[in-house]
Amino acid sequence: MTDTDAAGPETNGADAPEPGIRILAQFVRDLSFENPRAPETLRAQNTTQPQIEMGVEMNARGREDGLFEVDLKLSARATRDDGPVFHVELLYGGVFQITGVSQEELEPVLLVECPRFMFPFARQIIAGVTADGGYPPFMLDPIDFGGVYAARKAQGLGGETVGNA
């Protein structure tokens, strides 16, 4: 029996890079915190728990230098029966180098795996800004980015992805 490689006998796999994701940069692209009824809502915070409406979006695009930019948008709107409590919105960006991934696998890597790497940092920013707004830190529950991606694909709403330019 002979060993054959998917890359072909001539290359013996030498030209096929190992699959990998390198995080080259992470940054806050946009951050907004609205606390429209403070300090009234701060005094009432222990009486009733607010209703929280969450939103999550992921987008990716290729850059001319062969790298990829990924945006993770998280939003949370807290309300009580008597009105809004706070609204926080974060657009968190990352620059990634993706190697050894086929074109078919690229979109899920960019819209599932990259946001998964970015999420803990974005979560900490949201927790910090809500604490700075006078509330207990708002700790986002973990997000199933694979599930979000699959649901959006099923609805035809997948994130914007552009291959290498």
Q: pLDDT by residue (tens digit) across 58-90?
A: 999 999 888 999 999 999 999 988 889 999 999
Helix ranges, the chain (H): 40-43, 103-108, 114-132, 145-154
β-bridge pairing 83-99 and 68-80: antiparallel
Residue 81 has a pLDDT of 85
Distance, CA of 139 to CA of 142 (rounded, Å): 9
Residue 41: its pLDDT value, please? 84
Angle at which helix 114-132 crosses helix 145-154, to 10 degrees, equals 110
Residues of the chain with pLDDT under 70: 1-17, 44-46, 157-165
Question: CA 71 to CA 59: how far, in whole Å?
Answer: 5
**In Å, what is the CA distance from 30 to each residue of 12, 27, 67, 71, 88?**
46, 9, 21, 10, 11
Two structure tokens written together for 145: 């980015």
Query: What are the structural domains of the chain?
Result: 20-144 (3.10.420.10)
The burial class, CB within 10 Å (0-12 / 13-18 / 19+), for 157 is exposed
pLDDT given at position 8: 46
